[in-house]
Amino acid sequence: MFVSDQLEHSLYMLIKRYFKWLHEYRTGKKLRNLAWQVQLKNFEIKIIWSENVANM
């Protein structure tokens, strides 16, 4: 059970950070952590690409 709890927590933190980044990106605020910005941009591009492939 512990492993699953850890995974759930990690996913929750990732989603929370993603939405925080999305908010900062849309409101034009500067992000303090550039590495997160790059990772999340890549993550967003993968999601958009997957959706486009699914729609073909």
pLDDT digits (tens, 9 = 90+) for 24-44: 777 776 655 555 666 666 676
Q: Considering the entire predicted model, what is its pTM?
A: 0.39
What pLDDT score was predicted for residue 48? 65
CB-side neighbour CA atoms (13 Å) of 19: 5
53 pLDDT tier (thresholds 50, 70, 90): low
13 pLDDT tier (thresholds 50, 70, 90): confident
Higher pLDDT, 9 or 37: 9
Kindly tell me the burial class for residue 29, based on how many C-beta atoms sit within 10 Å of its own C-beta (0-12, 13-18, 19 or more).
exposed
